[in-house]
Amino acid sequence: MEYASCRWIESAVVLEPESLRFCCIPHSGNKGYVPICDYTGGKFPVEKLKEARRKLIEQNNSDGDSPCKGCHFLERRDWDAERKSDALLEAVYVSHYSICNLRCRYCYVYLYEGTLIDVGYELLPVIREMIDDGLLMDGAYIEWGGGEPTILKDFPAVQRLLVERGYPQQVSTSGVRFSQELEDGVRAGTIRAVTSIDAGTRETYKKVKGRDKFDVVFENVARYAKTGGDMTVKYILRADNSDPTNLKRFAEKCAEAGVKKIVITPDQEEVAQDQVTEETLYAFALLRYEAKKRGIYPMIRDEYVSPEDMRRVRKYVPLQLWWWRYGLYRLKALAVEGARRTGKAVRRLLDSGTTRAAIRRAQEIAPDDEGTLRELLEHQTTAPHPELRDKLAETVKARPNRRELRGAITTVGVSEEGWTLDGETGFVVVDGGASEKRFRPELVFHCTDDESDLPVKMTIADGVHDDIEFTFLESRFRRIELPEMEPGEVGIFAVRTDKTWLLRENGTERRVGVRVTDMTHA
């Protein structure tokens, strides 16, 4: 009998630090990551999983909404007829840890650092129970996600058990640490190793991955590839690594390392935030072309992204056929950028009188005059001027009882807890006077705990750089980097939201937008 379900619901489980989930698929805004039950190790909750599976299938086949409706994996099929065995599980996704030896700027381990558990529980007893009690189908698929699996204490012991029983695996590894167990598995053909390098130059690697390990990673990739097994290298294309120089050099480095296959995927968050640039779309076609030219098999895929989005990223594929589309886009983009710059220059000229007046007012302002200070900060973040910026930074620094965050960051116009209030703009002032080298300030933002208030769109603007836009689709802390700053430089940023929501706290109610804080207070 046909009914709506998916392979994750029917036969898989995701092991997280404090829970079990059916999947790790985001979809339809803030849907996905469907929970089963709490779990922190110990006896595997077979009956709870079965009951959660039954209830979810019933919900997916009812007239109402469900956590899965809207997901591209949900299909009407005869799932019972397709079942491979009577075992409870045909796939296990191991993600019960967030410990890692990189700080990739797109990864949840970095974005939500400080709010995660390093390692949830010992994995070996859990896997052994699954095998001994017949919960795992013979030949069940094991995939390692999370942070970096090779630095887990029980990774070698778990590998020995899985290899001994012949379970096929995919292990996503940073490649920073060489693993003998991983090399042995790749050589034996039981492990597919996947390393996401995401750069073709050492400089870009450090920027995207957070550590200077470019050469070490390619050395280890070459060792795994030399076994003749499946060593796949991945490139997650983002706005900051999609330039032709990085793509061509990446293809060259892969060829030198003996890599036979690469996987090219979009950044899930850029997709969810609708921030995939045209340059990134073109990069899919260009990297595919550069890889094929060097005898490397390229795959453009990501099962976590909808088919519609995947069709979009193939816009310029194959490059030989559709290169002219991008040429037309570039001509139009240059014209638009020229008009934008002209418009900004005209606005600066028109605003010059009000800016001079704002500078004079800033020279006379008292540090405790919050109303005037916020008015001038608003002017600075819409019509920026270095003299006004520096004077306002001095005033903020002289304020009594100012709210300071880590990294010489001060907030203005927010509550004591850091909330923007009543739809008003909050401000962030970054003082780089003590810095001796370039730096990127980091802040942490939090929105509503009630998902019915979502989505909430936040904009961070300084009037100099492109605005940073982020839409909260779920309730959790989110780390965001501000634009890179020079030594001694001051930055002033406005924080705005497109709507407010009602915060009930300590017996009071107020309309708030986002909370501006840092990793210390997250």
pLDDT, tens digit, 9 for 90 and up, residues 388-401: 999 999 999 999 88
Those residues with Cβ within 8 angstroms of residue 276's Cβ, 6 or more apart along the chain or in another chain: 266, 267, 270, 312, 313
More confident residue, 28 or 194: 194
Q: What DSSP string describes 181-215?
A: HHHHHHHHTSEEEEEE---SSHHHHHHHHSSS-HH
Q: What is the pTM of this model?
A: 0.91
Residue 303 has pLDDT above 90, yes or no: no
Question: By the 8 A CB rule, do 150 and 173 touch?
Answer: yes
Give mean pLDDT, residues 96-110: 92
* pLDDT at residue 30 greater than cutoff 80: no
> What is the CA 349 to chain-centroid distance, rounded?
39
- Pairing type for strands 261-266 and 231-237 reads parallel
Q: Is residue 215 pLDDT above 80, yes or no?
A: yes
Neighbours of 475 (CB within 10 A): 15
For residue 406, the model assigns a pLDDT of: 86
Could you give the C-alpha distances from 159 to 122, 144, 176, in angstroms and in order? 13, 11, 19
Residue 344's pLDDT is 81
What digits encode the pLDDT tens for the residues 179-200?
999 999 999 999 999 999 999 9
Average pLDDT, the chain: 93
pLDDT of residue 86: 93
Average pLDDT over residues 260-266: 97
Q: What is the pLDDT of residues 444-475, one digit of tens each?
A: 999 987 878 999 999 999 999 999 999 998 88
- When pLDDT is averaged across residues 347-366 and rounded to a whole number, the result is 89
Q: Between 433 and 45, where is the model more confident? A: 45
Residues above pLDDT 90, as percent of the chain: 81
Look at residue 29 in the predicted model and tell me its pLDDT: 76
Burial class from Cβ neighbours inside 10 Å (0-12, 13-18, 19+) for residue 334 reads exposed
Residues contacting 351, CB < 8 A, separation 6+? 383
pLDDT of residue 522: 54
- Calculate mean pLDDT across residues 221-238: 98
Q: For residue 146, what pLDDT is reported?
A: 78
Q: What is the mean pLDDT of residues 470-492?
A: 91
Report the alpha-carbon distance of residue 487 to residue 438 in Å, rounded: 5
Task: Note the pLDDT of residue 73.
Answer: 94
Q: Phi and psi for 450 in degrees, rounded to 5?
A: -100, 110
237-255 tens-digit pLDDT: 999 999 999 999 999 999 9
Query: Which pLDDT band holds residue 349 (cuts at 50, 70, 90)?
Result: confident
Q: What is the pLDDT of residue 520?
A: 59
pLDDT, tens digit (0-9, with 9 covering 90-100), for 119-143: 989 999 999 999 999 999 999 999 9
Of the candidates 405, 431, 399, the one whose C-alpha atom is nearest the C-alpha of residue 418 is 405
Provide the 3-class DSSP secondary structure of residue 27: strand
Question: Strand order in 19-21's β-sheet?
Answer: 35-38, 19-21, 12-15, 89-94, 136-144, 169-172, 191-196, 231-237, 261-266, 297-300
> Is 112's pLDDT higher than 90?
no
How far is the C-alpha of 72 from the C-alpha of 202, rounded, in Å?
37
